[in-house]
Amino acid sequence: MNSPWHISILTLFPEMFPGPLGHSLSGKALENGIWSFKAVNIRDFAQGVHKSVDDTPYGGGAGMVMRPDVIEKATLSIENPGRKIYLSPRGKPLTQKLVQELSEEPALTLLCGRYEGVDQRVLESQDYEEISIGDYVLSGGEPAAMILMDACIRLLPGVLGNEDTVSEESFSSGLLEYPHFTRPAQWTSADGHIREVPEILTSGDHSKIRDWREGQAESVTKARRPDLWNIRENARLSGKKPKK
């Protein structure tokens, strides 16, 4: 029986999973059956003595391309694939809004590319959606799949145990989060500086603390991510709710 959030991973390296996801929050959630996964070895669907999964690119050029027939067979072997995702630098960016959406799907299939990527025809025939984790190139889709999964798992009901945490986090209201402080209230760093916690945080005045945090979140967003700030400002000026 699958858990409410079941992930099938198509990979040439099934032993990489659950990897880091078997630890801490996600590991506990895995143990508790909040999510489950099956790593499918793409090579099991290759033919011939060499079990080749890749071939040279038509049109020439460097590198190898994953074969459509092998990827198709591997995809069709999955009983309940749900939404099918190919992790790819050419994909749409993985945002917190998309993470939220994917965490609400009962099942996902994540295709991890290697080499130069996957033959375009099978991505189309099998309706793969392409998702990128950022504007840089990894050597394989496995770390990208893990990042996508980690971001989704922490949103699954029962994983964090405190819904407020998520609603105040970076990106959930279109802003980066305010800064955090903990004990000691006065701390001398290695350079001899005495560093205090902002006074307002020890005042016990919750409404003032809320306003201060909001102000901090706004100024850090304006300074570090003018792109996010502009989206929020444009939404505010047009009377729309800011997008996540």
Kindly identify the residues of this chain, within the stretch 110-129, that bind ligand SAM according to CB under 6 A. Answer: 112-114, 116-117
Question: Residue 168, Cα to own-chain centre: how many angstroms?
Answer: 18
> Tokens 């996902």 identify what position?
108
For the CB of residue 9, give the shortest distance to ligand SAM in the complex, in Å.
Answer: 12
Amino acid at 140: G
Which of 77, 100, 132, 172 touches ligand SAM by CB under 6 A?
132
Residue closer to ligand SAM, measured from CB, 135 or 191: 135
Rounded to 10 degrees, what is the CA torsion of 119, 122, 127, 129? -20
Compute the half-sphere exposure of residue 174: CA atoms within 13 Å on the CB side of its CA: 17
Which of 25, 64, 138, 209 touches ligand SAM by CB under 6 A?
138
For the CB of residue 137, give the shortest distance to ligand SAM in the complex, in Å.
Answer: 5
Kindly identify the residues of this chain, within the stretch 45-104, that bind ligand SAM according to CB under 6 A. Answer: 87-90
Which of 140, 166, 214, 233 touches ligand SAM by CB under 6 A?
140
For the CB of residue 148, give the shortest distance to ligand SAM in the complex, in Å.
Answer: 8
For the CB of residue 89, give the shortest distance to ligand SAM in the complex, in Å.
Answer: 4
Q: Which CA distances in Å does 61 have to 54, 55, 114, 177, 201?
A: 14, 12, 16, 44, 59
> Tokens 């505010």 identify what position?
236
CA atoms of 46 and 56, how far apart (whole Å): 16
For the CB of residue 86, give the shortest distance to ligand SAM in the complex, in Å.
Answer: 7
Task: Indicate left, alpha or beta for 4 from its phi (over 0: left) and psi (-120 to 50: alpha).
Answer: alpha
Residue closer to ligand SAM, measured from CB, 144 or 159: 144
Interface residues toward ligand SAM, by CB under 6 A = 87-90, 112-114, 116-117, 132-134, 136-141, 144
